[in-house]
Structure 1
Amino acid sequence: MIGQRKDDHVRLAAEQQRAHSGRNQFDEVSFIHHALAGIDRPDVSLTTTFAGISWQVPLYVNAMTGGSTGTGIINRDLAIAARETGVALASGSMSAYLKDPSCAGTFRVLRDENPDGFVLANINANASAEQAQRAIDLLRADALQIHVNTVQETVMPEGDRSFSAWVPQIEKITAAVDVPVIVKEVGFGLSRQTVRTLRDLGVQVADLGGRGGTDFARIENGRRELSDYAYLHGWGLSTAACLLDAQDAGIPVLASGGIRNPLDVARALALGASGVGVSGGFLRTLLDDGVAALIAQISTWLDQLAALQTMLGARTPAELARCELTLHGELRSFCIDRGIETRPLAQRSRAVEPPTS
């Protein structure tokens, strides 16, 4: 049953990606163009460092799948793509393995095909500390992702209905394991208050996982006999809104959800992300065109991200957070309602200009 659900998720996610309108709130974020800001390409680095973690590039393949024969093949190809491009790679939820160890190989292939890469194991917030360690051990994982997904579980026909234990359980897992813990949403976003709570629980990094990409409320509703939760399609905070809301929340943040191209990667980094994750868009490429096409896509994205940094005068991904931005539309309205000052984003250069004599 779990394997069938995993296959359903892949099929429905791919269908949703193919039918996506193409717009989200990253379109409401614009760089202010400074014609003389450019630097030399050899001076640009893509390395990003956060919470004691160092990645050679700020792009990563975020959690997708595992638990069935078909999804094991997908994980094999994702691992090959990560190995060939140097991006970090997260497993899909390993709940299937924790319930049925016979499907371990569908996850272990992530490490088998990518022995020297940065791999994240992924579990849900109901897992015990012992289960968390089992997941880490299976993948020889460099970090642990704990996903939170109340909306998905609510709509999922066989989903959880009890969530009050998640906070104390996250704290227990974080204290018990010896790798960095990253808590991620699956597409509905983490608010400022949530990120601060995670910080207080000892979590090292928050993956904001905002609205704009794969909609798991829509996916799970498609698995319901009556499709009676359609009114929750589009629920949540966009990734861009989460980045703005989580400023100064006290721990590094990663951005995922609705990343469509290298410009979105640059926008997310400029809004404060330490790294940027992609799931649905890469899955669509893999399923439609194969692993060679995915490798080419990731390589192109990294090349173009370096080109954008060169144009914008950002020697590192972190320096993109000094670039000036303007916000528009509903995203700007969100900031007003949440008390987020937007003018400083458009006047960042003033903070680094030398004083005049």
Structure 2
Amino acid sequence: MTTSPATSRPVTGTIYVSRLLTDRAMSHLHSLGAELRVGSEAPPTRSELEAGLAGANAAVITLTERVDADLLAAAGPQLKVIANVAVGFDNVDLSATEAAGVTVTNTPGVLDRASADHTFALILDVTRRITEGDRLIRSRQPWIWGPRMLVGLDVSAGATLGILGYGRIGQAVARRAKAFDMTVIASSRSRTPGTVEDGVTFVDQATLLSESDVVSVHTPLTPETRHLVDAAALKAMKPTAYLINTARGGVVDESALIAALHDGDIRGAALDVFEGEPRVNPALLDAPGLVLTPHTASAGEATRDTMGILAIDNVAAVLSGNPALTPVR
């Protein structure tokens, strides 16, 4: 591992790290020579978060920590930078950090491939009923091969993938889908419907919902995208279609999704993120045709190392008087 220019010399100040990062990232952190306050693997309580931030010059946090004006006031005016170990930053009140003069950074780009891999793993799992088959075997029920047994969607036989949100991760998912010979359409605020880019045709959201065999969500969570996939959107999908969400839980109205699965409005879904995370709506556990994973889309070894190291390098840059490497704007 090479040392970035931001960490080529010792860094002064106190750095609070809310969660224990990977071994490689922690080694990189210790190489800075700064005073450290490091939490455990478990999410900190609000009081632990306040205590860790009090008097600190910088913080490395994860998406489980909520940053608001009260927390910033408890931290003190010496706080210069908060590095979020995630691409999304809906856990941070950006108006409050701007008012407090605190730089916020995230980790874009470094988890695109891992997140896209996980997304496509979920697509294959739910469409080919892999988890369902695993449960059948583990139930010890008698079974025998049959022509109608666990039949699912052939994604490589002309299926259409619709990508809601065409940022870095959405583009990486599109590349994987093209390798499976899928037709790929996408909707994006930055592309005009009717244009084609790298074999991906851009359409409006209504067209995407009605024509896709699989809809994969890759939009950030903002006030505008909260419950973007609601009851109306689900009813607009094919009854044979599947929904995949590896973005943020709040983009999908979970209550509407539960009803749609029970009513047969769509055939299945796979979720890696949840509205009340880490709490999971119990009704999801009883919904048919649903695959669930615990927000692990970025959980590749190299990816988690790189995420932590980028967050640390952002802190080192700001504490050294340099611009942040990946500031949230």
Greater helix fraction, Structure 1 or Structure 2: 1
TM-score when scaled to structure 1? Answer: 0.29
TM-score when scaled to structure 2? Answer: 0.31
